[in-house]
Structure 1
């Protein structure tokens, strides 16, 4: 897919908005690596510290090892054993050259290593130190083990997802990890700006659970305002109808009728003109109350013709509607390709194997292309340690004991 990156070629070469910023990444799995990858895309130098011989656990989630490949571009991998005095010294020496530290161990782990913010800030007072965890560094749940599925469950997101009478469902993607990672980057960017004025760093406590509270802002406010939680409604909207997925004769599509103008446009489709004669459907509030009866009628008509027919009719009238695409359809969409929404990496390093991954929505302030493919474990150990200690430094496997 050589054309995927071609859209970037015409852009002016630049190093990215975070060029000159160094991040020490001691995170693993997804939320932390995703946040540091985003900063790497923006031009920061990301030094990923990994346990010798094993490294980031996501390297082994597979095949096809999609988590690691999709969240670790634009980084350098260095094997360092933080259990050893030598490894911890390397960490501290790297911190002296850095702007940001990101970690996502369970709360208290970095303190047990003696690598917590208070200790690090004594060495580098302007360091920005971000901890990402499931439930945060404080509160009664702080030390519970937590990953994306657990956070989706306890946040209420799963209770709101799925069909009305079906089982609660997690989102189709690891949304707690991703939104947690984005929250970390927003906080770090704000602190970088703050540091320009104050010259001081900051400790940042990011909880994936807090991030999902923002995803559920509409549902939570509805409950706190009315005392009534949303019922699960599948693909529908709890406050308006028709607004959900519908079956054509060949495939499903989605449609949203959000106001009276859109309703008038919808019932101008000849096959749906009869709905104008039903008293229970005259106003939006009535359609919402009587949605079951209305949707049965709409489903019956939509099933008579292919989705493309209905999508053309809806589009003609300016009613929001789209097909529900499969992933094979998505990755070949002309719009996705023209936007440069996908890119290619090589993995494993030096294999010549190309893998297509999601690109950079932040590409306008990023480096124009992937500068580094996801690294092999320890691929840059010698390079980084020679930068730190000078040419001729010899890295040893356990703690990389300085010569």
Structure 2
């Protein structure tokens, strides 16, 4: 098989010119064929950590989340802008021979490929791992699906909502006498993204020992099962179907939201010692001596009675009073903040969790930064989420295409 042309002189394969040299994944090249949220979140995280990420999108519309709005910020929906910073975008039709050839040129110098093709689709066959591995033996391929590689549901499509329903999260979320609810975050997508990120980085570490890449898979369904943790273990032990508890905890009481005079706040008591501190702070030491409440096992068994007592007490003062009182007593408690309050909070500012990047077409864009620091420094938001095909010409030039070939590959459907 003929060798592909080397990248354009002056471009080091896998090096992001904007990434600090000390970035943990500096020197890695990632080809992103995924869309929506799980895959793009994996690749954005890799980009945040210093990898060069090239996002391949269809010329007609690109990633569907570009249109998942309102809200919009500039030409793109904020949903897209949330998961695609620090990447370059090239527009290619993956079903065309020319588009496939361009992707293969990218893969010739790539370390990681991320995709979420539906099993059995034509693209899954075209970019099959066995075929790619024979050609690029060091390639790590991450495949994210809805339901996993085997089983009766393997070919079913699925979005985050489907995962939350089918994998049990919605059955655990909501008030006991209310309807099932989805989590406020896209826990199906984001759970799969985080496990996928672990899988990719683990495969890269193994490649250092073996010299070979591998096929890494996860799914929205599997990731939700992995996150059941104590819920699943409790079910295995008892055989009892867990019930929705609102903000309550299945194994700890008091550990939930409570109403004060002017709103709700949370109390998190994780030990009998903390419960005694709580009772003293509430001027009700008798509750700690009540045999219904003296141990956590007792409190869980008498959840309703204890919560009724606490609600009567807590309704006599406002949230600020109780949070200050309990904090002084060493009892974990917090007001329930809205997002505007969270991003106005001095703690958020002190951590540097919001960074700003400029977009020539739409002005400054704020982003929530990567939540891990290295040597005391947080990875930076270097570049804004790209416009569709923003970097097509420069990437194709790096891959050795001539101007005439680039014109053919980048012309629109109406050209």
- TM-score, normalisation: structure 1: 0.91
Paired position in structure 2 for 1:91: 103
Number of positions where the alignment pairs a residue of Structure 1 with one of Structure 2: 388
Matched-pair contact (CA < 8 Å) for 2:272–2:294:
no
TM-superposed CA distance for 1:257, in Å, is: 1.8
User: Structure 1 residues 293 and 367 mapped into 2: Cα distance closer, same or farther (>3 Å)?
Assistant: closer
1:80–1:400 contact (8 Å) kept in structure 2:
no
Distance 1:195 1:15 in 2: 21
Cα shift at 1:269: 2.2
- Deviation, 1:24, is 0.7
Return the offset for 1:281.
2.2
In the TM superposition, what is the alpha-carbon distance from 1:260 to its structure 2 partner?
1.6
Match of 1:375 in 2: 386
Distance 2:367 2:277 in 1: 39
Per the TM alignment, residue 367 of structure 1 is displaced from its structure 2 partner at its CA by: 7.4
User: How big is each residue's C-alpha offset from its partner over 1:64-100, in whole Å with a ceiling of 9 and x where there is no partner?
Assistant: 2122111000100001111111111111111111111
CA apart distance, 1:109: 2.4
Alpha-carbon distance in structure 1 between the residues aligned to 2:109 and 2:155: 31
Is 1:364–2:374 an aligned residue pair? yes
| 2:61 matches 1:49 | no
**CA offset at residue 286 of structure 1?**
1.8
Indicate yes or no: 2:338 matched with 1:326. Answer: yes
- Alignment-derived partner of residue 292 in structure 1: 304
Confirm or deny that 1:77 pairs with 2:121: no
Distance in 1, matches of 2:70 and 2:405, equals 33
Residue 283 of structure 1 deviates from its aligned partner by 2.6
Per the alignment, residue 7 of structure 1 pairs with none
**Aligned residue for 2:3?**
none
**Mapped contact 1:176–1:211 kept (Cα < 8 A):** yes
Distance 1:112 1:310, change over 3 A: closer
SS of match in other structure, 1:205? strand
**8 Å CA contact retained: 2:371, 2:378:** no
Cα separation, partners in 2 of 1:270 and 1:388, compared to 1, 3 Å? closer
Name the structure 1 match of 2:144.
132
Q: CA–CA distance in 2 between the matches of 1:393 and 1:125?
A: 32
- The answer for the alignment partner of 2:156 in structure 1 is 144
Are 1:87 and 1:400, in contact at CA under 8 Å, matched by a contact in 2? Answer: no
56, 63, 79: which is aligned to 1:67? 79
Report if aligned partners of 1:22, 1:45 keep a CA contact under 8 Å in 2.
yes
Q: Distance in 2 between matches of 1:326 and 1:267?
A: 28
Deviation at residue 231 of structure 1 after TM alignment:
1.4
Indicate the residue corresponding to 1:385 in structure 2.
396
Instruction: Determine whether 1:123 maps to 2:135.
Output: yes
Flag the 1:165–1:386 CA change in 2: closer, same or farther, 3 A: same
Aligned to 2:179: 167
CA–CA separation in structure 2 for the residues paired with 1:96 and 1:255: 54
CA separation of 1:270 and 1:247: change in aligned 2, threshold 3 A: closer
User: Over the residues paired in the alignment, what is the CA RMSD in angstroms?
Assistant: 2.0
Q: Could you say what secondary structure the match of 2:143 adopts?
A: strand
The answer to whether the Cα contact below 8 Å between 2:249 and 2:256 also exists between their aligned partners in 1 is yes
User: Which of 343, 348, 354 is the equivalent residue of 2:364?
Assistant: 354
Distance 1:197 1:102, change over 3 A: same
Match status 1:25 vs 2:32: yes
Any conservation in 1 of the 2:253–2:296 contact (CA below 8 Å)?
Answer: yes
Give unpaired runs (5+ residues) of structure 2.
Answer: 1-18, 72-76
How much does 1:388 deviate?
A: 0.3
Q: Is the 8 A contact 1:255 1:320 kept in 2?
A: yes
Give CA-to-partner distance per residue, 1:96-132, whole Å, 9 cap, x none: 1111110012112255552211121122111111111
